[in-house]
Structure 1
Amino acid sequence: MLDELQAELNQRALQGLLRKRRVLQSAQGAHVQVDGEHLLSFSSNDYLGLASHPDLVEAMKLAADQAGAGTGASHLVTGHQLMHDRLEQQLARFLKVPAALLFTTGYMANLGIITGLVGRGDAVFADKLNHASLNDAAVLSRADLHRYPHHDLAALEKMLANSAAKRKLVIADAVFSMDGDIAPVPALLALCERYDAYLMLDDAHGFGVLGAGGRGVLEHFNLYSERIIYMATLGKAAGAAGAFVAGEQVLVDYLLQTAKPYIYTTASPAPVAASALAGVRLIEQDSQRRQHLHGLIKLLHDECRLQRWRLMPSETAIQPILVGSNEDALKASECLRESGILVPAIRPPTVPKGTARLRISLSAAHTVADVRHLIAVLEKAESA
């Protein structure tokens, strides 16, 4: 088996698909030290620049003094601490929904929600560009899985109309993590209402960024429905770690009984919940960060002029540049690194074959000068 594994790794390397880790030697931010180099980073999901904010750091320190480092048990035994409870209440208040439930990671949240709600005899309808965690959860649930082409509402409607499943669950990224585009949530909800389905949205990349108050994709579209199951993470715009599901009280009560990744996992440390709570409060109170971020997004689209590569349409912090081949994307990323800029090359299977890209992540921690420097280096790298 080991020989076969090595052969597969060698093949990945030949195809330009072998992934390698970098070692971050500084705090997360616009300017970082990675593998001994000082770089301007456009590679993090720290969209509001809160990962190193003093309020989050101080909240974590105070919580560690009060609650210790570890929880020692699952939430349903003795691991559910005061900070977890406060964070769930704050999230529900902030999102203006009845209840919220914490998970350790976004991946675990998606596994827990979907496998907890549907099973044999039910049906899941999924956008083909959904995050891997949504796909894995749908398979593990043992429900019938139907995948529709990206944003193809006509195909989705046909699938829903032909389904006789007891429970129907439509699942979609709210903001697609590799394209940066926003799901047509009002249209998805309308189909769910028409065909008695429920809509689960993974708003990992919209929470804190979209909407006038940072409440994510539902505020962006001014939507509320009992049919919506809202999931988001706390390790991106909120600057900490973890994830949650929010919605009706009965939904949270039910998942508390059925979501295995919640039930059978040691609760995340209370200091992490405390820092996330501080991050959510800053999302609510500091709208200037969000306004600055959207100004940078507009600046990039207004001033970036590429000839061979293509800046994909996106009004979110995720700004992908379509390059094409794996080799060209890797060369482009390396060219930027040699100029002091860190932008990752994204390749299959994360994106479809032939669509390798540079994934630029903008942050409120960036300055106008940072983005203009990025544009200049991109234009130079494209012509190299």
Structure 2
Amino acid sequence: MIPTQFIEPVKKISTPDLLNEWFKTDAYFYLTGFIRELNKSVIKKKNSDECFVSENVLKISKILDLMSQWVDQIPPSNQPRRFGNKSFRVWFQKLAKNAQLLIGEIIEEKVKKFSIEIAKYLIESVGNERRIDYGSGHELAFIAFLFSLFRIGFFTKEDFQAIIVKIFNQYLQLMRKVQIIYNLEPAGSHGVWGLDDFQFLPYLFGSAQLIEHESIKPTSIHDIKIVKEFHQEYLYLDAIKFILDVKTGPFFEHSPTLDSISAVKKWSKVNSGMFKMFQQEVLGKFPVIQHFYFGSLIPWEQNVFKERYLQEEKKEEKQHHQKDKKKKKKEENQNQNQNQNQENENQNQNQNQNQNQNQNQNQENQNQENQNQKEEEKKEEEKKEEEKKEEEKKED
């Protein structure tokens, strides 16, 4: 339901004590629910798989293309490499000045009053102008940008797969380009023990894409051939490739958390673990979430949406449990069928052996009968010959 009034977006989480309030807001449940749905939309889906691509998806893609062109038009300034490049601020200001106009041109007249809030999330999604840094909090702002468009009806659920494999993927490529050209610092980095210096969600959505993949396993991130061959198809592998391109040294040294996760057996476990980690390390961390803006489309207020979300979460857990139960039952039935088939095969083999033995015995019996008959015939001939000789003697 679209809000009736526009509220200027502002920051609300000013102290760590407000985190508990944040977890109860509609905003929290809107965003986590939206991320869950986006995640589900790309399970077992490659980037190149056919999907519905609406005109509105293409409109956002064009805005991201334009932002990328601005990077090409604003080269980095000549300054020491170890600091964030000041030309980023020029690029940032160009977006800040044009974002509301760009959004206003593509949304319907009746919701144009929300263009300020929607544009704010887009501007916040590219990094911090003053610090010249970028991190998972800015990535969250891009999700807020996408959700706010969904909230006003610009996107529908049919767009979800394309939102990830087209728009979000394009956003990732744009921000990696910005990071390299303007030498952005990691925002709120956990250092070597963080998941990734800059982004988090490619690992969530990317692990969903790889669920039940026949050959690519979590350990496959250590196979450079697989990473290079499939990085354009899967967000997870593309994120790994970017790390390998920009970092040197053994993987377990510069990315120990990702290295540890690679030991998990199933992508489904990686995926569920990533979502929990996102809730804890991004949504649940004050240094990250203190910069988030709340307005009319993503409100601070608490309402009924929480109950709906919790019901959906319970329903999802129940379905997951039932799915695991069915899978286990199916495996048990398959094992039983295999055992039964093996028993039947053994019985058939025994029957064949018995038949062969019987055939051999019958053949032996037949041969013996033939032999006996020949001997009888021979004796009969010998007897006749003897009788004939006796007759001849009598005649003489």
Q: TM-score range by the shorter chain?
A: under 0.3
- TM-score, structure 1 as length reference: 0.27
Bigger relative contact order (CA 8 A; separation at least 6) = 2
Rg bigger for which structure? 2
Higher helix residue share: 2
